[in-house]
Amino acid sequence: MRILLTNDDGIKAEGIIALAKLLHLEHEVTVIAPDTQKSACGHSITIYRPLTVREHKIEGLNCKCFSIDGTPADCVKMGINKLMEGNVDLIISGINDGLNVGTDVLYSGTVSAAIEGAIYKIPSIAVSMDRENGNINYKVAAMFIKKLLENVDVTSIGNDVVLNINVPNLEYSKIKGYKVCNLGTRIYSNIFIEKFSNEIERIFEIQGKPTDDAVENTDVCFINKGFITITPLHYDLTNFKLLKRVENEFKNEFLFK
């Protein structure tokens, strides 16, 4: 397959290099990633200045590698429209340094890059790994993605769907399996620490820890139990359960009376 590999941690991040080293042996991989850390940038794109593209040589990789001084979504757009000649079969975003479970997906540059691929009707995967329990062994998540591509036809699931995959920070042999499940809820108890102030301005640093819900059968639940989680996502945020109810509330057409 022809794979566009991106992330939000930057071109030199360990996760994307580990995944590229494994996949480029069996697939035609092109790495296109931000030149610097872009975590939690969401689905932003760069429209008020030009983008700079640089080609890189990364040790151990026999594939084309580019950095862009923009966002993860910029990288996907540029890759599809300019840098990769011909069709792109699959977009993989990751391996992210840290989970993207529950409501994290709304902030995540990793997930947003994959969603950008889905908007272009290209099957896309976002893969993230827990950073708890010490150093991250990215080879665990990379091996799972390799086995996934060998055993599952991800292109048949839907070309406008993102598979959001999260991997616990465990040895491969200690992972209990994988679960296809719903998104859970992850709320951060953010604390704003004032670092500097004067008569004109105040500077704050954001800190905080996640508070996970305890709802069963969600990605937040299963990742804490040692399972890899797989959640299909779509960029259509319409709440279809409420669509009829909202329509009924607005049936009076009050604006034009």
- The pLDDT assigned to 215 comes to 82
Q: Lowest mean pLDDT: which of 3-7, 89-93, 197-201?
A: 197-201
From the options 3.40.50.12780, 3.40.50.720, 2.60.120.10, 3.40.1210.10, give the CATH code of 2-185+214-256: 3.40.1210.10
At residue 255 the predicted structure's pLDDT band, cuts being 50, 70 and 90, is: low
Encoded amino acid at 122, one letter: I
Bond from prior residue into 122 cis (ω within 30 degrees of 0):
no
Q: Answer for the pair 142, 22: CB distance below 8 angstroms, yes or no.
A: yes
Question: How far apart, in whole angstroms, are the C-alpha atoms of residue 168 and residue 224?
Answer: 8
The response to whether 213 counts as a known ligand-binding position is: no
**pLDDT tens, position by position, 18-55:** 999 999 999 999 999 999 999 989 999 999 999 999 99
Phi, then psi, of 178 in degrees rounded to 5: -135, 155
The response to whether 7 counts as a known ligand-binding position is: no
The response to whether 35 counts as a known ligand-binding position is: no
The response to whether 39 counts as a known ligand-binding position is: yes
Mean pLDDT of 182-194: 83
Question: How far apart, in whole angstroms, are the C-alpha atoms of residue 115 and residue 122?
Answer: 9
Domain borders along the chain are: 2-185+214-256
**pLDDT tens, position by position, 89-137:** 999 999 999 999 998 999 999 999 999 999 999 999 999 999 877 789 9
Query: Model pTM?
Result: 0.93
